Amino acid sequence: MKSLYVGIVAIAVTLSGLMAQAQTADDIISKHIDALGGKEKIAAIKTVYTEYDLEIMGTTAPGVSYMINGKGYRNELDLAGQKMIQCVTDKGGWMINPMMGQTSPEPLPEDQVKAGQTQFQAGGTLYDYAAKGYKVELLGTESINGADAHKLKLTVPDVSETVYLIDPNTYHIVKATVKSLAASAGGMETVMTFSNFKKSEFGYVIPGTTEITMPQVSMVINVNKIEINKEIDPKLFEME
């Protein structure tokens, strides 16, 4: 009888632990969304316009990006006097890369389009993740910047697996390790660290500085200006 009682208690503890873990994962995400400005604020975002500087290989290149929530993302980078453009919409994508001899727009491969479509989601991929068909797992904690950050893994089917480290004090994402699931990428990993968080006049918070490390190259993005709900011409996303 005693062993049966102990067994029942063990099962109850195990089940409650699993429930607590699931609730904790969603609680962490909820606090992260609040740190960005809150659900209502994010739901009110229609467009995001950003001006930034990219530091790469000792060179600083100015860039701008345009995002229409749920519809499209366009990035323009002026590198050594040549404009590189990448555009992804809910229907497809294209790019112009003079560094590779492209002087006219060329369609993006399907796997790159799928990956790029996560870039025009206000609030990021964790926001409303279940409704998007994404999966989140709680992986415990990991030490970073002297704190035990919450560690979450988000899977976007057929696109990527991302491990996020979320600061337990601010609930901002301070690091993201993205593994591509695309066959053409061969499991390539990209590591991004975020700092210098800024609140826009709209009340939405973004990282002012992003350090990106990929195989054989690293870069730093510094945001100079951000405008929320600025009018953006949809024609910018049409193939030029």
* Structural domains of the chain, ranges and CATH numbers in brackets: 2-237 (2.50.20.10)
Q: Which distant-in-sequence residues (6+ apart) come within 8 Å of 114 by Cβ? A: 158, 159, 182
pLDDT reported for residue 2:
43
Give the separation between CA 60 and CA 79, rounded to whole angstroms.
8
Q: What is the pLDDT of residues 13-69, one digit of tens each?
A: 343 344 334 448 999 999 999 999 999 999 999 999 999 999 998 999 999 999 999
- Report the pLDDT value the prediction gives residue 185, as an integer from 0 to 100: 62
pTM: 0.86
Q: Can you tell me the distance from the alpha carbon of 149 to that of 165, in angstroms, rounded to the nearest whole number?
A: 6
List, for residues 67-116, the tens digit of each pLDDT value. 999 999 999 999 888 999 999 999 999 999 988 888 899 999 999 999 99
User: What rounded mean pLDDT belongs to the chain?
Assistant: 89
Task: Identify the pLDDT of residue 216.
Answer: 87
